[in-house]
Each structure stands twice: as structure tokens, then as C-alpha cells.
Structure 1
Amino acid sequence: MGIRFGGDYNPEQWPEEVWAEDLKLMKAAHVTMVTAGIFSWAKVEPGPGEWDFGWFDRVLDGLAGAGIAVCLATMTASPPPWLSRAHPEILPEGPDGQRRWPGGRQHYCPSSPVYRAHAVRLVEQLATRYAGHPALAMWHVGNEYGCHTRQCFCDVSAQDFRRWLRERYETVGALNDAWSTAFWSQTYGDFDEVLPPRAAPTFPNPAQQLDYLRFGDDALRACYLAEKAVLERLTPGVPITTNLMPQHKPVDAFAWSAHMDAMALDFYQDPYTPDDHIRAGYVFDLMRSARSGQPWLLLEQAPSAVNWRPRNGPKPPGAMRLWSWQAVAQGADAVLFFQWRQSLGGAEKFHSAMLPHGGTQTRIFREVAALGREFSSLPEIAGTRSRADVALLADWHSWWALELDSKPSTALDHSRIALDHYRPLFEAGVPCAVLPPQRELSGHRLVIAPNLYLLTARDAERLAAYVWGGGQLVVSFFSGIVDEHDRVHPGGYPAPLRELLGLRVAEFWPLDAGRSVTVGGGRYTGRADLWSEEIDLEGAEAPAHFTDGDLVGRPAVTRHTYGKGTAWYLGTRLEPALMRALLDDVRAAAGVTPVLPGLPAGVQAAVREGPGGRYLFLLNHGATAVQVELPGRMRDVLGAEDGVGADGETPRVGTGEVVERVTLAARGVAVLTEA
């Protein structure tokens, strides 16, 4: 099967005579898979119960005849105008009570039984009609859940929320206890008194907000599961997925992973963000880790510019190739784009496509076709996997709770803090898994918890058991503070981790915007910002202290031997160089080594392996050519013959020769295997 390559195909935007040309050009570009039908609902059901699938039959038949597989969408992402006209109650409302109207997309309340009934009816028609069709390779349910309608606050959602609360708490007394409703006279006498956390005079109840975020995620997933049940019944054995978004707060990727046959992602790197490949690395590792290392699918990226940023820069020559290979290096078995043919009208007409407005005589199409040829030359990579000795912990419930109102600082950004901890590993060439704290951790030599503000007693016990058994753990500031209901753990901060860490946090000292402090301790000397804490040692030692500011002389970094392992604690945000020095030492003590020691700055190294061999990927994210020494004699297997590098010239290409070092052009890529 090889690495799937292609993009979103939207033939309903074009006259039928264009479709034959599409198939011809797809073959020229080495397209092997398209996602079809994502926004086709209005076309296949132009009126209630009026089905018109004839045109779509011809589309799928043509693709099958061309040998192109289809990831078939359920078409439910954007309801047709007739549905919201007949049933305006399906339209979502914001926390301010304002209705969100049709005219864009995703204009539905996730809790609406009317929307779900019509969606399921459509999926019944699709699955019945196309079960066994030779083009059908997998199902694509919905599209980018929670992208525009992250939560709905209408009366339908309120009713569904009350049902959800009854199932979760059973009694209103248990709800009152969990939500700490004795505060501000919020005690409920009946579930029917509960509303969504709509716009209020001041801060809504944080536990109520947290549960509504959980409910919102569950409501979106219920839409997905309703459609999935139909597909499983009518097309058993056909894989089912949906496209998640990177670091997307409304949708818990770990919770969804159990219901997806393959993780799938839309990721749009920003050419104007020089280090966006590091954010990509984190998200790609999360996708790979969510289903225990299983290969995942990149279902959308842009061939060049997008249309929705304030400034939409094009991808310079070689960037699309480099970033596509980065996804494969980190576990992707499919690289698809939005979209195949660039639209002439609509909101995304200036979003780049594989086939641009300018046609085949464009840089974009040449680069796309060259990349397709490269992927087709290495089908054996598909199905191979990666392993990681380091686990970085991420938890959606903690993220939701951390960024609610009324914290010591509103500057705590879960995604930014995660990347602060991921960057030193990525730059050192150390493979990393991104996991929730509920997963088994014993297979990892080092576990890093960037910020687990919300930590259940059970998960704290699991972390302690991991260290007691010999694990190495790094925990950062403002962790272990509240339980699953956003109630402070009694016993002093961070109560469930105090014994493990060997310390007590007496008081939080968030730093003002733009202010930094100095941390000193031999090798661990430098600046820190964002946050600080007054730490009392209770068995831990302090390799580094604050050397100025209000906490001068107090511990900034601590280390505690616990059982056979060691637990580190960071009471502030260390500057990148200092963070790198610390994590280099910690991982060395844990016996964690990089894929390739001594990598030049800007070069990423990753490995995938399987029964067919072990593949080393080298990717130069820098702006100049570099030479990389290999661990021994290796064979260059990237057999492409063309492509465009950052300098506009042909990049270093594979020849099949055995080499001991590789010269990578700027934005260059190499794939090697054992000689």
C-alpha cells in the first residue's frame, strides 16, 4: 500500500467535464488517496429526503478506475440551508445567548437530536450505497469537530447537560459537593436549576465550567459515535477516523483515540514562524502516541499559503517537502493536503491547493508531483514504527482547569508550557512520547510532567510508584494543586506530590509581565520568568536557587531521591538554554540517548523500524547546508530524482550508494537504512 498521498477532493465545485482532467493530473502527481464528500450534503440531499447520488457515483467510479483510494466523508460537517430553515433549533448559541447563523459551516448544536437524526439518516444512505465499492478505503466522519462550534449554550444543550450531570453525579447533593456550591450561595435544590455557564456578572463557578468543557467534548464525540455505529453495522471492517486539530482544546485527543481506527490530523505549519517545526514535532508525537505508536494520518496540510491567518505567507521552496517528510519521519503513513484543485469562489479561494489557479506550470504543482514520486519510491516505510524512552505528560482535564478564571496568573498557557519542555528534547534529537498520566509509564526511562495543575490522587500515586520503582521524573511548577473537581488538595501544595518531591510550596509568586529573575547553581545558572514559588525543602536538595528578586536564596530547582528513582521539581520557567542543560543532565542520568549524537543545530533525526528494516530520517530545518556524520556506513534510499530546495536548486537526493556522512541542503531531507 505504501504511504498514502493526495488531498481533499471537492468535485461538486466544478463542472463534470473537469473531472476527467482531475483524474489524469492526479495520476501525474502520484496521488494514491483522496478524501471526498466532506461538504457534499447539500448536493446529495438538495431537499428533505430528496436523494441525488448519481453524480457522486460517477466520481467514485472514476477514482476507482484510476486506482485512487477514497477516504469517504460522511458529509455531515455542514448542514444544508433547508435543514436550519426547517429546524432553526439546531443552530448553536454562544454563552451570550446570541444565535450563530448559517452562511459559514459547522452551524449546528452538537446536542441537537434533530441534527443527529438527520446526520445519521444521511450516513445510512451513504453506507448502504457504497458498502463494497472498490474505491472505499476508509471512512472520514464529520470534519474538524469543535473547530467553529466549540460549545453550544442553547436550551437544548442545557437539557442535555442536565442529563449528563445526572449520569455523572446521580444526586444533586453530590453535584453540590463537587462544585463547591456553598461558595457564593450557589447551592442547587434540583438538577433542573442548573444552566450552562452562560455569560454572568462575574466569574462563573470554575467546577461548573470544567464540567461543561467535559460535557462539550462528550457531546461532540456523541455525534461522531452515532455516525460510527452506522458505519460499523453496514460496512464492517472498513477503518473509521476523523480529522483532529493540533493542540485543540475542545477535543480530548486521548479520549477520542479509543474510538478511532487510526489517528488523523490536520496541521498547517506557519512559514512566518521560524520554529513551527518544533510545535509540529510535539503534535506529531502526540498523534503517534495516542494509539500506542500506531502510524497515523496527516489528512490536511497546505501546499503553500492558507487563507485564514492575518498574514498568509507562502511556503518557500523546499518547505512543503521538508515538513511532509517530517510527518512521515514521526510516524505518518499518509500525507494529504487541503485541497486538490484550488477553488474559484468561496471563503477558501486563496487557500493554496495541489493544483493551483495557475495550473500545472507552477512551482506548487511541480513540488507536489515530485513529493508524490518520492513517497511512491519508498512504500516499505508504511507500517514501520518508532519507540521513545521519554514520555511527556499531557492531560486535557488539567488544561481545561488551568486556563479557567481566577488563578494566580492568567499567563499560564498549557500549550506554550508543553513546548517549553518538549523543545530541549527535540533539539537534542531525543524521541518522545506524549501521553496522558493515566497510561502505563514503566516502559519509559524518563517522564516529564510540564504542568499538571489538576492531578487526581490516583494519578499522583501512579507517578510515585513509577519513581519508587526506579524511574526518573521531572515535574514543573503549579502541579498537583487541585483534584478532578478543581478543589484544592488539602495538606499544603502540592499535597498529592509532597512526599514524592520532598518539598512544600508555601506560596505562589507569579512574575509580572516582562520581568525575569536569576537562577544560580553552577551549571544551572541563567534567567527564568513567568512564575516562581516559595519552596520549603522536606527531604529534597536544591541544585539551583533564586539569586535575586523577592525569593533570593530560596530553592528554584530541587532533586529528591525516592525509592530507586529520582524526582526533580522546577519552581519557575527556565530560559531555553538553562532548560536544555538541565534536561540533558537528567536524561543522561536516566540512560536516555539521542537518535544521533552531535547533530548540527536545526537538524532533526528520527527513526522508524519494522520487519523490513530500520530507517533513519535526517531533516534540515535550518537555512544553510550542513554535514551530518552517520553512526556507520548506511545506504541512501531516498530515490527521488527531482524536487526544489531552499535555494531553488535540486536538493540532495538518494542514489542508493553507501555513505558515512550526508550533506543536507537547507530544507534538505535524507532517508537512510543499514548498508
Structure 2
Amino acid sequence: MTAATPGATAPWPTDGLSYGGDYNPEQWPRVVWDDDVRLMAEAGVNLVTLGVFAWGTVEVADDVRDWSWLDDAIGLLHAHGIAVDLATPTAAPPSWLLTAHPGIAPVLADGYREPAGGRNAWCPESEVYRRYALRHVDALARRYGDHPAVRLWHVGNELGGGNARCYCDDSAAGFRRWLHARHGSLEAVNAAWGTAQWGHRYGAWEEIMPPRGRHGAPNPGLFLDFERYSSDALLAHYLAEKEVLERHSAVPVTTNLMVGAGAQVVDYASWAPHTAVVANDHYTLVGDLPAGVREHDLALAADRMRGMSPGRPWLLMESSTGGPSWQRRNRAKDPGEIVRHSLGHVARGSDGAMFFQWRASRAGAEQFHSAMLPHAGTRSRVWQEVVELGGHLRALQEVAGTAVEPARAAMIVDDAAGWALQHGLMPHRELSYGRELGAWHRALWDRQVLCDVVPPGTALDGYDLVVVPTLMVVDDDTAARVSAVVARGGTVLVTYLSGVCDAHGQVRTGGFPGAFADLLGAWSDEFYPLQDGQAVGLDDGGEAADWTERVHLDGAEAVVRYATSSLAGGPAVTRRRHGGGSAWYVSAALGADGVGRVVDHLLAESGVPRVLEAAPGLEAVRRRRDDRSYLFLLNHTDDDQKVAAAGYDLLSGADVGPLTVVAAGGVRVLREPRRPAPG
């Protein structure tokens, strides 16, 4: 068959929204499969991911394959109208391969080689692993590449989950090749890393090693480049499998990312253009959390996915119906959360809701992981909600293919900045990259303001408000893009520890925040990290914890000042006006109330509108196509909420409005009266 055209818009794997999950028939007797497909039809399942960990159950010995059960499973699903997202099972090397070639397993920084039995137990630089993996992928693609049931290829599983970094000798050699390609010469590497520090200058390529050991103080430039190399090494393996699949099949190819709030295990923004459907696995937070934290984390992850897939839908490839299995205390979902969480992803651009997994396993490492069909079977509350969600997704079929209404606010997020912030001898080694991302996005979410979360290099022309939170590593191009927003009359907010270093991780001299100091008209000459439990008062009645700075005004005005500590009287939050635009600097880690007060100023100044007026915890997102719009209303509170909205509720089948009540924990999706498209 003809290979898919790179960059082309791929056909969606299902008619309408996709619904289903990972299906592992090899774990069950054949007689169970007939019940599976019958119950899938009852639930409305139209897509399953098949074969993710099935390498060893197909290739039972070296180059000896038994396809019979997989042939049967694909045929059964196809006969019942269920599409297949067929995985290359390379996340799980067979036991015979690991036994014959133990050197394919990844090595940790302390030299410990991972034993068999884990996930992704392979080094991306292992030529032996690559040879065996591509041989099996070739056989798989030849057999099923034109099967009508196969509507999507799924490379591996959560690449980087278990093998994000490998420190073996093969990886060391791969790292050196990557450095040569990136920097061109050993002299350039020495310059980029500032190896004169501690006398670490390199005189030969062979002297460069990954940041091994337990000393905890690698050269920041070396560390940052090793993170980038590790992401690229895994991407190279994905692309190798993708090339084999496209050699034999025109079916679109993807892989499941693990995009969350903070720094990711790999640089997914650089991966997304290589996937026909950008897909994500997202599991909600656990623990005793303040109201809305769990749901806001979902929204932030979904907005990051949309920022990686502009102009096309993405897919929630995995989520859970209840507790997962890898956390200390695996929280069950309360009644209504399965529906509300799934439709929260759909509201923000996913054209489907998928789960791990279809049927709960009886044995193995994930035997207590929740599933669409739990151990208790069809008598369970989870099953009832799974069937309910399937009905909702069928009712929302006309939403498929629509786009989330364009946001006028954006947040710039970069995994490299997160890596730089969280490792090495930093002024404050307990800061999380996700802290400021979450704080500023949460304030917008509470105010029903849609915010695209985008990687550096994204065109910012359509945004009136751009937030730059702790973007520690910044190249000159990104700094220029941010400045251009203010020059054309937009509003920019930059937080502490942004622009401090260049793309190599070297500190920009002349005062912090380095790359943005001229734009902001304010600079600091010294960081004042706060100690555990310490807080500094502000003159607006708020407090700062964890981080403060001594700030000097150079064209900006102080909006909030420090009220206590040796910084008392000095600027904490500043604003510089540039014609019709303005640039804000926040030098302190503000509390939620302080962030909210600043955001209120930003929205008033930039003119960025709310989707609608509602209390915090009532989520509102609009998807549209031409003059047809769909308003998603999700109530994450324990009280009924009344909002000014009207239309036909696709979920209840009733007209509502002009004031619409969204029940506590409930969801409405309104097909609104026709109106002209914005712009």
C-alpha cells in the first residue's frame, strides 16, 4: 500500500467520537471474547487498542510466530463493527529476547542495569533491540497493514515511561554522536557548557560521558543536552518503527504521549508533528486535594495537548474509570467523575475518550488497575457509568471534527525549561516547574478563560494575553516573539526564573530576568529564596512563599510591593506600558489570591473575555464549526450552578435557557442558536 503522506491530515479512526480502551484478549480464555464484544456493543465501544504487550505471545521464540489468536481477535472485532488501533508490541520485549541479550536493558545513572519484568525494558541506542523490534514490526505490518479493521497504528506504549534515560556505553556513544551533530565541534561543546568551571574541559570526544553517578551536581549544560539527546533517541526509535509501518500500510501512525502539568519525560512538543493523531494518556491526581485541583490538572493537560495539535483534534488514548495501580493510595472516582472527566477532555479538543483497560485483569502487575468492565462485572456502578458515557458520546457525534473556539490567551511552556529548573545546584532546589504553570492557568480556568498552552516557536499573533511562567531556558527567537506581542498592543506577564538562561543553560548577565529585562523595564540583582514555612507580606494584603527577589525599576511601575523582610518597600509585581501594550513582571511566588488579583488586572487590560460569567469550579468551553457552536458546561462543585446560557442540551435532549442549571457534579453540552463565526 502507499505510505501515508507526512504532515497530511489523517482520517479519523472512527465515525464520530472514539470510545473504548486497551483490549487484552490474550489474558482471557477464548470463550470470554464473545462476551467482550457483546458488552462492547452495549457500552457503545467503537475503537480498541490491541496488542500493546503481546510481542511474546505472538513471537513465542526467536522468529517463530503464532498469529492465530491475533487473527481471531481482529476478525471478531471487525465482525462486530469495532475498529482496531493496532499496537506494535515493542514496549514489552519477550523473555526469550531479554534472556539471550540482557544488554538491551537500560542502565540507570548509578550503573544499575534494569532487570527483566518492567515496562519499556530496552535502551533506545541498542542495535540488537532495534533489529529485533523492527523485524517484528515488519512482520506485523505485512500481515495486517491492509486489514479493514485496522484504522490506526500505535507505536509502542508510553515511550520514555521506564526508559526515559539510559546511561549505558551505547547511550554514551549515541550522546557523543548527537553532540557532534548539534554543536559541530568539541570547541563548541566546551563553549556551550562552560567547561572551564571545575576544570572540566574536554580534549577528546571519548572523554564525554552521560551525567552518571550520584554526585547530584552535573554541569547544567551537559545535563540539559543529555535530556534533549534522550528525548531525540526515543523519537528516533519511534520514527524507525513508523517508517516500517508506512512501508506496508496507509493507515495513520501515532503513539501515546504522557502529557501532564509539569516537565515531561521527553519533549513531546517535538514529537507531535510526527504523529497522525496526537494522543495522550492522562490519569487524575490523587490525595486529599483542595477543591478543583484534580479537574484543573485535567484541563491544563488537555490545553497542552491542544497547543501541540493546532487545527486538528487530538485523542485521549488512556484514562481510568477509577483507581490506577502505581500510586501509594489509588483513589477511586466518585459517582459522576467518569463522565465529567471524560467530557472535560472532549470539551478541550479530544475527539474521543479511551481507557486503560477494557476488562480488569485477574493477574499480573496491573491486576488491580480499574477498567471499563471491572472485576465486579456489569452489576457495578462503574459499568453503569461506562454505559452512560457511551450514550453521551453517541449523542455528541455531531461535535466530532469541530474545533475548540480560538483562545485569546496563551501560556508558553517548554520541557527543556522544566528540566533546567529542576536539576543541578539551583538557588531553590525544591521548586516544581508545574507550580507557576498551574497557578496562572488555574486562575484563568477559575474565571472561565480559555488558555492555549503552547511550546516555544508557536506563532503568538492571535493572542492578546501571553503568560510566561518560569521559562528558565529561553532562546533569542522566543524572547523576540514575546516582545512582539507587547509591541502590537498585547499584554505579557513574565514570572520569576524566566529568561535567566540562554538555550545552552548559561546564565544571561546584566540582571534577571535576562532575556526579558529590557521588555519589562525591571530587573533584579539578587534572588531571595525563602526557607520552608517562611512567608513575606505584600502591600496588597497577600503573601509570597518560596521565592522573592530584589527588583529595580527601569521604566516600569510597581503594582505590588514587598511589605515585610529586608525587601520591604521594593517592587514585587511591576508593569511597564508600551503604547497600547504592557509587560508585567512577577518576582515572587504569589499565593492563589495574589495570582487572582493580578489576573483580574490582566484580563481587564487585555480585553480577553470569559466564555461566560460563572462561579469558580464551573468549567465552560466552546467548540464550533462555522456558525454552529457547542457550549460545554461542567460543574465541578457540590452545588447546582445557574448560568446565562441557552440551547439544545445534547445529553438530556431538551431545550434549556436563557438561564441554565448545571447540577452539582453534572455536565451539559448545549447546541447553541446559530451565530456568525468570530472574526
**Matching residue within 583, 586, 591 for 2:607:** 591
Q: Following superposition of structure 1 onto structure 2, how do residues 398-409 of structure 1 map, counting pairs within 5 Å?
A: 398-409=417-428
The amino acid that maps onto 1:664 is V
d(CA) in 2 for partners of 1:432 and 1:495?
26
SS at structure 2 position matched to 1:289: helix
Could you tell me whether the CA contact under 8 Å between 1:271 and 1:314 is conserved in 2?
A: no
Report whether the alignment pairs 1:464 with 2:462. Answer: no
8 Å Cα contact 2:158-2:255 kept in structure 1: no
State the 1:290 CA deviation: 0.6
1:424 maps to which of 443, 447, 455: 443
SS in structure 1 of the partner of residue 425 of structure 2: coil
Letter in 2 for 1:153: Y
Q: 1:126-275, aligned counterparts within 5 Å? A: 126-201=140-215, 203-247=217-261, 249-270=264-285, 272=287, 273=289, 274=291, 275=293
- 1:562 is the counterpart of 2:562: no
Q: Supply the RMSD in Å over aligned alpha carbons.
A: 1.4
State the partner residue of 2:351. 333
Give me the whole-angstrom Cα distance separating, in 1, the residues matched to 2:655 and 2:493: 43
TM-score (norm 2): 0.94
1:63-86 deviation per Cα after TM superposition (whole angstroms, max 9, x unaligned): 111000111101111100111111
Deviation at 1:655, TM superposition (A): 2.9
One-letter amino acid of the structure 1 residue matched with residue 355 of structure 2 = F
CA distance in 1, matches of 2:227, 2:488: 35
Superposed displacement of residue 582, structure 1: 1.1
Mapped contact 2:633–2:669 kept (Cα < 8 A)? yes
The secondary structure found in structure 2 opposite 1:168 is: helix
Q: C-alpha distance in 1, partners of 2:216/2:396?
A: 58
Q: Say whether the 8 Å CA contact 1:111–1:219 is kept in structure 2.
A: yes
- What is the match of residue 6 of structure 1? 20
Whether 2:320 is the aligned partner of 1:302: answer yes
* SS in structure 2 of the partner of residue 470 of structure 1: coil
- 1:664, distance to aligned residue in structure 2 (A): 2.1
Which position in structure 1 is the counterpart of 2:522? 503
- TM-score, normalisation: structure 1: 0.95
Q: Secondary structure at the match of 2:492?
A: strand
Q: Paired residue for 2:433?
A: 414
Aligned partners of 2:446 and 2:585: how far apart in 1? 22
Matched AA of 2:660: V
The range that moved more, 134-143 or 240-249, is 240-249
Q: Secondary structure at the match of 1:258?
A: helix
Tell me the SS of whatever aligns to 2:325: coil
Q: Secondary structure at the match of 2:60?
A: coil
**Among candidates 62, 66, 80, match of residue 80 of structure 2:** 66
Partner residue of 1:541 out of 538, 557, 562: 557
| CA shift digits 1:481-500 (9 cap, x unpaired) | 11111111122222322211
Q: For residues 277-292 of structure 1, what are the structure 2 equivalents within 5 Å?
A: 277-292=295-310
The one-letter code matched in structure 2 to 1:54 is S
Equivalent residue for 2:568, pick from 549, 552, 566: 552
Q: Which aligned runs of 4 or more in structure 1 are off by greater than 6 angstroms?
A: none
Q: CA deviation at 1:382?
A: 0.7
Single out whichever of 164-173 and 487-496 deviates more from structure 2: 487-496
Distance 1:430 1:362 in 2: 37
Distance of 2:167 and 2:136 partners within structure 1: 26
Q: CA deviation at 1:511?
A: 1.0
One-letter amino acid of the counterpart of residue 364, structure 2: G
Give 3-state SS (helix, strand or coil) of 2:555's partner. Answer: coil
2:339 to 302, 321, 333: 321
Contact preservation (8 Å) 1:264, 1:299: yes
1:673 aligns with 2:677: no
Q: CA deviation at 1:625?
A: 2.1
Q: CA deviation at 1:246?
A: 2.2
> CA shift at 1:656, angstroms?
2.5
Letter in 1 for 2:662: L
Which residue, 659, 667, 671 being the options, matches 2:657? 659
Distance 2:654 2:611 in 1: 22
CA distance in 2, matches of 1:478, 1:214: 20
In 1, Cα distance between the equivalents of 2:119 and 2:252? Answer: 27
Counterpart residue identity of residue 335, structure 2: P
* Residue aligned with 1:559, SS: strand
CA positional deviation for 1:563: 4.7
Aligned residue number for residue 360 of structure 2: 342
Deviation at 1:635, TM superposition (A): 1.8
Alignment of 1:31-110 (within 5 A): 31-110=45-124
Please state whether the residue corresponding to 1:657 is helix, strand or coil: strand
**Pair 490,319 (structure 1): closer, same or farther in 2 beyond 3 Å:** same
Greater Cα shift, 267-276 or 38-47: 267-276
Matching residue's letter, 1:89: G
Deviations 1:319-373 (A, max 9, x none): 1111011111111101011111110001111111111111111111111011101
Q: CA deviation at 1:202?
A: 5.5
Letter in structure 1 aligned against 2:522: L
Say if 2:153 and 2:251, in contact at 8 Å, map to a contact too.
Answer: no
Aligned to 2:8: none
Deviation at 1:281, TM superposition (A): 0.6
The separation in 1 between residues aligned to 2:36 and 2:506, in whole angstroms, is: 57
Q: Is the 8 A contact 2:151 2:251 kept in 1?
A: no
1:258 deviation in Å?
Answer: 1.1
- When residues 10 and 607 of structure 1 are mapped into structure 2, their CA distance, relative to the original with a 3 A threshold, is same
More displaced stretch, 574-583 vs 557-566 = 557-566
Is the alpha carbon distance of 1:612 and 1:40 closer, same or farther for their aligned partners in structure 2, counting shifts above 3 Å? farther
In the alignment, is the contact (CA less than 8 A) between 2:644 and 2:657 conserved in 1? no
- 5+ long unaligned stretches in structure 2: 1-14, 674-679
From 373, 397, 401, the equivalent of 1:379 is 397
- Are the equivalent residues in 2 in contact too, given 1:242–1:260 (CA < 8 A)? no
Letter in 1 for 2:394: S
Aligned AA for 1:567? A
Match of 1:648 in 2: none
Deviation at 1:451, TM superposition (A): 1.0
- 1:620 aligned to 2:635? yes
* Map of 1:645 onto structure 2: none
Partner amino acid for 1:493? Answer: F
Deviations 1:183-216 (A, max 9, x none): 1111111101111110154512111111110011
CA distance in 2, matches of 1:95, 1:5: 40
Matched residues in 2 for 1:245 and 1:397: separation? Answer: 14
Task: Check conservation: 1:600, 1:628, Cα contact below 8 A.
Answer: no
Whole-angstrom CA distance in 2 between matches of 1:334 and 1:47? 37
Alpha-carbon distance in 2 for matches of 1:507, 1:498: 14
Given that 2:490 and 2:582 are in contact with CA atoms closer than 8 Å, whether structure 1 keeps it comes out as: yes
Q: Alpha carbons of 1:136 and 1:417: their partners in 2 closer, same or farther (altered >3 Å)?
A: same
Question: For residue 454 of structure 1, what is the aligned residue in structure 2?
Answer: 473
Q: Is the 8 A contact 2:49 2:84 kept in 1?
A: yes
Give the aligned length.
Answer: 654
Q: Which moved more, 1:372-381 or 1:230-239?
A: 230-239
Give the aligned partner of residue 602 of structure 1: 617
1:526 counterpart (542, 556, 571): 542
C-alpha distance in structure 2 between counterparts of 1:482 and 1:392, whole Å: 19
Q: How far is 1:280 from its partner? A: 0.8
Q: C-alpha distance in 2, partners of 1:319/1:237?
A: 34
Range with greater deviation from structure 2 (266-275 or 560-569): 266-275
How big is the shift at 1:237? 4.7
1:439-450 residue pairs with structure 2 within 5 A?
439-450=458-469
**Which residue does the alignment assign to 2:4?**
none
Cα distance in 2, alignment partners of residues 59 and 314 from structure 1? 31
Superposition deviation, residue 562 in structure 1: 2.6
Q: Which amino acid aligns with 1:427?
A: D
